[in-house]
Chain A
């Protein structure tokens, strides 16, 4: 006799209880606090905020704790939370020219106004496991100095003075918002940039890399990368002037790309732009490469490579969508599989 399986409900409860126990791990080891994660796993927090589209270090740290450090899961938790939040106001565009930069480098000038600022980078660390970290302890004190207050003009603005770089067309139009409206084509650059800023770091990294290997070459130079704090301002209609509501840390990358010109446009340099929450140079650079690659069509270049295919990039850059659909294959599909089984059996009978 066969008895159908029941008990999905108990199974789910049991799974959740087991997960909670696993998450905590060995209780003789002190529990991680959200503050520890926010302070000491900063790059993970940055990534969860960026892909979760929500700038809140404490919530991101909580999400990382809840997800056992699975950063896509953490970003998912943040996304699901942010959709329920009411919108009080829209910020004015942030002004990265007045960033309190902790890092600012340009690969296309030896020196420039404001100077090169190396900042807290892994770039020149030798990748040797540091066993003193395993032992714990406080790092030696760092020499500090007052900011010299020197302005840090953006490299594209310097290049632009000579007319060598395509102008950055300003716009007062309300930017699109993928979190409220479906993606439709042709997708304007504001929507594309939003998708990239929320996009999966690994996906953008691979796509950006592919452009460097000849799949839609963009001849990039890292015009400038800067990371640091910028002010967020809103302008309430009843006030009529902007007020500062706080600071966020962002990484901005301006790629400068060779462009030979076309029938209508003279030879000049073109832009690829990357901007992400937190310290995430890798993603900002990859984003700038992919942004420029996706502009191939509008600049009259051949669209041949994956990174240049706007529809392909935008439909596959979101890791919350991608992970959901990839992982949904583990849900039961036995009804469809059964229909395929019967189908294959029928076709084999017909062939015999």
Chain B
């Protein structure tokens, strides 16, 4: 562990402040709790909110997994995992099933999370209404009144103009039938995983200084209309490496002649399937 810094970097006073915010966040599912976000040694926008939440929940017995875009080996995931290995000395893993705390940017793992796991989302913009109303004084008032007409109008206009709702990621959800919430910029494909998830879901927005949460088994509904129900979007083919048909896929450009390869974005999921003998059309047995 790094000398000269407290366990998991944050001082105890800061952890207490964040822990109090987390408890209120859990008690008011989907409500953004303002907190005294600290300046972390990583840049704002790079996971400082998630890092502060993780640092406040993490203990020596935890096993931490960090993913960015679903992958454990993307540079920012590596950097954050190293930060905690250095400052908290915790065990880390790339296996979803082995982790007790999973910090993520932009994805929810494919493997269903369990009741003894916590998932921490890095959130760049916690305010789901920010594109429609830039003033946070106004949006706070709207949340207070559960006045979400603006969002419904925006979705309705989408349907009128495009014949469908045009939001592909950071697709707004209603939590427990009360709060409109940003699920963070996960693809809409992942939204259904949030609904009645057995794991506790925590969200940290460092720059915007907000924490929010979804308790386990809580209703999380993607906004839609009866005649235009929510549909998760994905590529139309199976993973080229492991053949998975139900996983979210990244598109890899393989040449300059239009060659494309679709592979699982969740690298652990893909590796596990390949280890179990599944082979896609571009993979090797």
Direct A–B touching, Cβ under 8 Å: yes
A264 interfacial contact with B, CB 8 Å: no
**Which of these, B11, B43, B45, B188, contacts A339 with CB under 8 Å?**
B188
Given known contacts A2-B252, A331-B46, is B11 in contact with A340 (CB within 8 Å)?
A: no
B282 interfacial contact with A, CB 8 Å: yes
Instruction: State A339–B166 Cα separation when bound (angstroms).
Output: 11
A contact residues around B48 at 8 Å (CB): 324
Interchain CB contact under 8 A, A325 and B75: no
* CB-contacts of A322-352 with B (<8 A): 323-328, 331-336, 338-343, 346-347, 350
Interchain CB contact under 8 A, B76 and A334: no
Given known contacts A8-B74, A83-B39, A331-B76, is B168 in contact with A324 (CB within 8 Å)?
A: no
Stretch in contact with the other chain, from A151-159, A174-182, A224-232: A174-182
**Which of these, A9, A86, A328, contacts B46 with CB under 8 Å?**
A328
Instruction: State A9–B72 Cα separation when bound (angstroms).
Output: 11
Instruction: State A340–B250 Cα separation when bound (angstroms).
Output: 12
Q: How many A-B residue pairs have CB under 8 A?
A: 150
Interface residues on A, range: 35 or more
B65 interfacial contact with A, CB 8 Å: no
* CB-contacts of B98-148 with A (<8 A): 105-107, 124, 135-137
Interchain CB contact under 8 A, B187 and A335: yes
A contact residues around B39 at 8 Å (CB): 76, 79-80, 82-83, 179, 320
A contact residues around B283 at 8 Å (CB): 1
Instruction: State A185–B138 Cα separation when bound (angstroms).
Output: 10
Given known contacts A1-B284, A2-B254, A311-B137, is B169 in contact with A339 (CB within 8 Å)?
A: yes
| Nearest CB in chain A: distance from B118 CB, A | 21
| Nearest CB in chain B: distance from A60 CB, A | 16
Interchain CB contact under 8 A, A327 and B45: yes
Instruction: State A347–B162 Cα separation when bound (angstroms).
Output: 7
B222 interfacial contact with A, CB 8 Å: no
A contact residues around B225 at 8 Å (CB): none
* CB-contacts of A63-85 with B (<8 A): 76, 79-80, 82-84
Central interface residue in B39, B82, B107, by most chain A CB within 10 Å: B39
Interface residues on B, range: 35 or more
**Which of these, A8, A76, A181, A328, contacts B124 with CB under 8 Å?**
A328
A6 interfacial contact with B, CB 8 Å: yes
A contact residues around B45 at 8 Å (CB): 324-328, 331
Interchain CB contact under 8 A, A343 and B249: no
Interchain CB contact under 8 A, A8 and B207: no
* CB-contacts of B208-232 with A (<8 A): 209-210
Interchain CB contact under 8 A, A346 and B233: yes
A244 interfacial contact with B, CB 8 Å: no
Given known contacts A7-B73, A339-B168, is B124 in contact with A325 (CB within 8 Å)?
A: yes
| Nearest CB in chain A: distance from B75 CB, A | 4
Interchain CB contact under 8 A, A332 and B136: no
Interchain CB contact under 8 A, A332 and B74: yes
**Which of these, B11, B34, B76, B187, contacts A184 with CB under 8 Å?**
B34
B267 interfacial contact with A, CB 8 Å: yes
**Which of these, A1, A4, A8, A346, contacts B78 with CB under 8 Å?**
A8
Central interface residue in A6, A185, A323, A335, by most chain B CB within 10 Å: A335
Central interface residue in B69, B70, B186, by most chain A CB within 10 Å: B69
Interchain CB contact under 8 A, B263 and A336: no
A contact residues around B207 at 8 Å (CB): 321, 324-325
A245 interfacial contact with B, CB 8 Å: no
- Chain A interface (Cβ within 8 Å of chain B)? 1-2, 4-9, 11-12, 76, 79-80, 82-84, 86, 179-186, 311, 315, 320-321, 323-328, 331-336, 338-343, 346-347, 350
Can you list 28 A-B pairs, Cβ within 8 angstroms, ordered by A?
A1-B284, A2-B252, A4-B263, A9-B73, A180-B36, A181-B36, A182-B35, A182-B209, A183-B209, A185-B136, A321-B207, A323-B44, A324-B45, A327-B45, A328-B43, A328-B44, A328-B45, A332-B69, A335-B186, A335-B187, A336-B168, A338-B251, A339-B168, A339-B233, A341-B251, A342-B168, A347-B163, A347-B166
- Chain B interface (Cβ within 8 Å of chain A)? 5, 9, 11, 34-41, 43-46, 48, 68-70, 73-79, 82, 105-107, 124, 135-137, 162-164, 166, 168-170, 185-189, 207, 209-210, 233-235, 240-241, 248-252, 254, 261, 263, 265, 267, 270, 282-284
Closest 8 CB pairs of A and B: A324-B44, A328-B45, A324-B43, A339-B168, A339-B187, A343-B168, A182-B34, A325-B45
Q: Known contacts A1-B284, A343-B168; can you find 18 more A-B pairs with CB under 8 A? A: A2-B252, A5-B73, A6-B73, A9-B78, A12-B75, A76-B39, A79-B39, A182-B35, A311-B136, A315-B136, A324-B48, A326-B45, A332-B68, A333-B69, A334-B69, A336-B169, A341-B251, A346-B164
